Structures are given as structure tokens and as C-alpha cells.
Structure 1
Amino acid sequence: MTAESVEHRPHWPVPPKDGYTVDDLFTLPDLPPHTELIDGSLVFVSPQRDFHSVVIDLLAAGLRSTVPSELRVRREMTVVLDRRNGPEPDLCVVRAESVVDRRQTRFEAADVLLAVEVVSPDSEARDRDTKPHKYAAAGIPHFWLVEMAGEDDHPVVQVYERGEATGTYALTGIHHAQVKLTAPYGIDIDLTEIDRL
């Protein structure tokens, strides 16, 4: 191995004995964009498919079109669940007072009413299992899981609500063409609009 090849290798951070913390997530230099912290481990995401990007745009526009003044819609922001978990939902609906300035990089779980994950090939297990479990445990009342389905690769939105007695999510609906809900606020999103984006 030449000195030149050693110089061009990436420098990967060595994890601490007990894993990383949320403080590390926000202070380690040169982390790739959209790095998440799950159970004290840094998770680097792969480049996203067009479906992922377009669905986030479609849902963000739909959520914002009816969002009440006391709430805000944000995309790809870290949500601090606890000391060792800082995932980055694709979308979240947060309390307006939790948006403090334009340099903000995170929200606390207590400020989030809805977390949305659009499933990607590299994150299927995290999006379907790990993150919903952690979001529910942190008290986030609503969760959406969005997947690509059918011959036309359209989005399917699975809507979950957290039960107070159980502290877990229960499926309340599966939406193929339209998401029309009253909680966490009045929402009406035409999923077929993806064909125009």
C-alpha cells in the first residue's frame, strides 16, 4: 500500500466503549448528511431512490396544506428520543413553539406529534421495526410508514396511533389513493398526485 492510498482512505470514527450519544451525533466532525443514531451506533444512509424524494415532497405539501398554526411540518430533522437515539424521520409534525430558529438541527420527542418514514431498500428493518418501536416508547402519538407498492410503484401509507394504555402503535388504516384523517389534525392528501411530480 502506498502512502498516497493511505492518505485518501476515509477516516472513520472509532466508537466509544459504551456507544455514541446524541451529544456525539451533533459534535463529531465530518459526518455524512442524514447520519442517524440508533442504540448508540451511527447509521449512515445510502443515496435515496426517486420514489423516496418525490413521496417526501408529496406528503410534505399535503401535510402543510392543512397544518394548523400551532404546528409545523419539517423534513429530515433529527428527533432526540433519548441519550442514545437520535433518528431522522423523513417527515415530522412538531409543535410550533419547538421551532426556535433557522439554525436548529433537532427536535425533542415530546415536541413531535407525527413521525413519517418512507421505506428504502437499505433501511427496511429500521423503518418497519426499530424506529416505530422507539418512536412509540418515546411517546410520539402518531406514526406513518410509507412503502412503494403495486405495478405502478405508488405509495401506500400505513397509519398508526399510539395507545396510551399499551404505549405501542396500533394500525388504524392503510391508504392507497388518499390519506384522509382527523388526527393529529385534518389531513387530506391525494396520493395519486405522485404521477404529476
Structure 2
Amino acid sequence: MSVAPKASTPTWPTPPEGGWTADDLDRLPNLPPHTELIDGSLVFASPQTLFHSRAVSFFEWQLQSIAPAEYEVIREFTIDIDRQNRPEPDVIVVRGDVVEDPEQTRYPAESVLLAIEVVSADSMSRDRETKPLKYARAGIPHYWRVENEKGLAVVHAFELEPTTGAYTSVGIFRERMKVSAPFAADLDLAGIKPRRKGGE
């Protein structure tokens, strides 16, 4: 007589009624690194491409070198938008006065000056539609979306329009990105490209 196999128990967390909250991200055990909360749902990060890794490092270090002293540049760190939204931008520029506790796991959205997302295959709709809407509603003044165009970085830069509360485009940049806000920056986007062998 055959025995029916037992139903396997899910290894992922089962959401409570009404969805997860921002505080749950700090309490849930064994979450994968870089788990985000979007509309009460957990979003797990897929393995990232070399382009994504290079782009995140590029903006982290380039902006760190030119940001005014009162700001900090942080990579892959969650921000509190509301009870059901705690996204993790790839890079943020944040007010230095909120960078206090080495044990902290998030920053308030109102302390963020700039959020940068590097688009991946699995994050296109979130980075192009969902997150900009939420960042704008949270009052984050600047948003940059970095796209991979045949191995070259293309940056779509947006600024919050105060009368509408929505982002407006301030430019699409290839090869070189020169802006005056949120602070003066002149970035050689070719620096994201992989180096050729022999240093060419």
C-alpha cells in the first residue's frame, strides 16, 4: 500500500493578515540579504550582474568623494517610507546627522537627498514605476535610474517638482553626467565599463 507524500512545509515566511510591516524586516529570521518590503510584501534580490555591481560601486565612491561634508553616501541600505514600505535603494545620499548608531538598519526617508537604483532584469517595473512613485511621495528630492545599454551606463535623472509632488526629468546622460543638483557633479560614466585586458 502506497503512502501519500506529506505536504512540504514552506521554508519562506508566511505573511500575516494585512502584510508585513517595516519593523518585521528586523525581526524575521533567516531573510536573504537585501530583502525589501514593498506594499507589505517581501521582495528578495536575485543574483546581481557584473554591470550592476560595478555601477553601484562607481556611484558610491564617486559621490562619496564629492558630496558636501554634511552628507553621507551609503550603498544598499533600507529606508523607511511608511509602515508597509521599506525599500533598499542601491545607493543613497543621506543627511549625516542620521548616521549615528552602528547597529541601525534603516534611515528615515525624509533624511534622504538622493536615491539611485541600478536596473536589473527582475527589477525593471519596480525601478521604473513603483519605486519612483513611492520615493516622490516620501519627498526624496532626487532620483537617478541607471540602465544598462549594451554594457554602457545610461542615467535617467529626476527631480521632485514641489507643486505636483512628482518627479520631472532633468536629463538622460550617456558617457558623461554633469549636474548641479543635489550638488555639483561631473561624472565620467565610462568608468562603469569593464576594463580591457592590458589596461587599455
Task: Show CA shifts across 1:81-109 (max 9, x none).
Answer: 00100000000000000101222211100
Partner Cα separation in structure 1 for residue 38 and residue 22 of structure 2: 10
Task: Show CA shifts across 1:99-143 (max 9, x none).
Answer: 012222111000000000000001110010000000000000000
Task: State the 1:12 CA deviation.
Answer: 1.3
Task: State the 1:2 CA deviation.
Answer: 7.1
In structure 2, what residue type is equivalent to 1:76?
E
In structure 1, what residue type is equivalent to 2:82?
D
In structure 1, what residue type is equivalent to 2:159?
E
The root-mean-square deviation of aligned C-alpha atoms, in Å, is 1.6
| Structure 2: segments with no counterpart, 5+ residues | 196-200
Query: 4+ runs of 1 displaced by more than 4 Å?
Result: none
1:115 matched residue in structure 2: 115
1:171 maps to 2:169: yes
1:183 maps to 2:196: no
Partner Cα separation in structure 2 for residue 102 and residue 13 of structure 1: 27
**What SS does the corresponding residue of 1:121 show, helix, strand or coil?**
coil
2:102 matched residue in structure 1: 102
Percent identical among aligned pairs is 51
Q: Which protein shows a greater Rg? A: 2
Partner Cα separation in structure 2 for residue 2 and residue 177 of structure 1: 58
Partner Cα separation in structure 1 for residue 64 and residue 96 of structure 2: 13
Task: State the 1:10 CA deviation.
Answer: 5.8
**Native 8 Å contact 1:180 1:189 kept in 2:** yes
The structure carrying a bigger helix percent of its residues is 1
Q: TM-score with structure 2 length normalisation?
A: 0.91
Within-5 A mapping of 1:68-107: 68-107=68-107
1:33 matched residue in structure 2: 33
Partner Cα separation in structure 1 for residue 118 and residue 193 of structure 2: 17
Question: How many pairs align?
Answer: 192
In structure 2, what residue type is equivalent to 1:73?
V
Q: TM-score with structure 1 length normalisation?
A: 0.93
Partner Cα separation in structure 1 for residue 194 and residue 117 of structure 2: 22
In structure 2, what residue type is equivalent to 1:92?
I
1:139 matched residue in structure 2: 139
Task: State the 1:67 CA deviation.
Answer: 0.7
